[in-house]
Structure 1
Amino acid sequence: MRLYSLSVLYKGDPKVHLLKAAYDVSTFNFFQRSSVQEFMTFTSQLIAERSALGSRASVKEQEYLCHVYVRNDGLAGVVIADNEYPQRVCFTLLDKNPRDADPMTRVQAELDETKIILHNTMESLLERGEKLDDLVSKSEVLGAQSKAFYKTARKQNSCCEIM
């Protein structure tokens, strides 16, 4: 299951304008990546241009499935995925925030947040441990200085007698 492209387009009167797009072309050969990305951009624009306002459609193009949703205000979303990616998830993704669209994505995001919190907690514990080590070494130095002060004071006071 792979999601290759997510595009947001505006369907105006004369033509379709690409507003924003995200691509995952990491599975393709380095030299093919730019042409694959151009293909996805062109396909997204073509599908959005040929879709009616307020419609949803899925189109098979080569080994990809292209899912399009065009709102009544002309804003369109196009998802290009492989054949295994669930159509329901694609259309839910086009309707909502990706975090709300797929339960696995939501769980993964929560795990990432938990990992960050745990990492910060571990860093603060290590810092506290370093501070405790500093306090222990300072208390050892202070203890040694107080012993030296006590010995010096006894020597100084030994010559005097109390009457």
Structure 2
Amino acid sequence: MKLYSLSVLYKTGDAKANRLVSAYELNSFSFFQRSSVKEFMNFSSKILVERTMPSSRSSVKEQEYVCHVYVKSNNVGGVVIADHEYPQRVAHTLLNKVIDDFEAKVDKKFWSIAKEDEIKFPELEQFLQKYQNPKEADAMTKINADLDETKIILHNTIEAVLERGEKIDDLVEKSEGLSLQSKTFYKTARKTNSCCVIL
């Protein structure tokens, strides 16, 4: 069980999401893959927050990862990217705690104007490390019964989250947030994995 990424984003009036802070645990990837993996985690997080309605949660399977998303009614969103074994309930409890802590410690006036990584929120890295072991973290989360009553939508792939007619390949190609190396990495990974897809 592993957490790879934890991010806080803010969804602006034009439904675009700005990444405010992020923390990563990418030691399981090779040194040469890390920058591309990080870019794709940021890219996926942004898309998912933009496509998630305020006051709702979802979990999206994408290849060997699951992206857990929560967007509050005030448009502050959180995304945690984990492996398939990581418990969904613990991931969503983590998002609750992160967003609540972020709102308490970071002044609201900075949410819409801050550029990526301008906001200092070292607690995010601490949350990512603390919740790496969900069994330890879960002992603390059992008190949070309100989360169990929340409906969490589970999508099989990121494609299911996109609007009708949108394709992930097109979004990757148009993205300014992905380097040429990351786009090539994505295309190669898609081709490699396409041999295993059963229609």
Asked if 1:23 is matched to 2:24, the reply is yes
Unaligned runs of 5+ in 1: 108-163
For residue 9 of structure 2, what is the aligned residue in structure 1?
A: 9
TM-score, length of structure 1 as denominator length: 0.61
For residue 35 of structure 1, what is the aligned residue in structure 2?
A: 36
Select 2:136's aligned residue among 104, 108, 120.
Answer: 104
Which stretches of structure 1, 4 residues or more, deviate above 2 A after TM superposition?
Answer: 97-100
Q: Deviations over 1:42-79 (max 9, x none)?
A: 00000000000000000011110000000000000000
Identity %: 56
- CA-based RMSD: 2.2
- Seen in structure 2, the aligned counterparts of structure 1 residues 93 and 16 have a Cα distance that, compared at 3 Å, is same
Q: Distance in 2 between matches of 1:64 and 1:106?
A: 20
Q: How does 1:116-155 map to 2 (within 5 A)?
A: none
Count of aligned residue pairs for this structure pair: 107
- Seen in structure 2, the aligned counterparts of structure 1 residues 105 and 5 have a Cα distance that, compared at 3 Å, is same
Q: Deviations over 1:93-137 (max 9, x none)?
A: 01115469x561499xxxxxxxxxxxxxxxxxxxxxxxxxxxxxx
SS of aligned partner of 2:13: coil
Q: Distance in 2 between matches of 1:94 and 1:105?
A: 13
**Deviation at 1:13?**
1.8
More helix per residue: 1 or 2?
A: 1
Contact 2:10 2:77 (8 Å CA) reproduced: yes
Contact 2:90 2:138 (8 Å CA) reproduced: no
TM-score, length of structure 2 as denominator length: 0.50
User: Rg larger in 1 or in 2?
Assistant: 1
Q: Distance in 1 between matches of 2:25 and 2:97?
A: 20
For residue 51 of structure 1, what is the aligned residue in structure 2?
A: 52
Q: Distance in 2 between matches of 1:25 and 1:17?
A: 22
Q: Distance in 2 between matches of 1:103 and 1:60?
A: 22
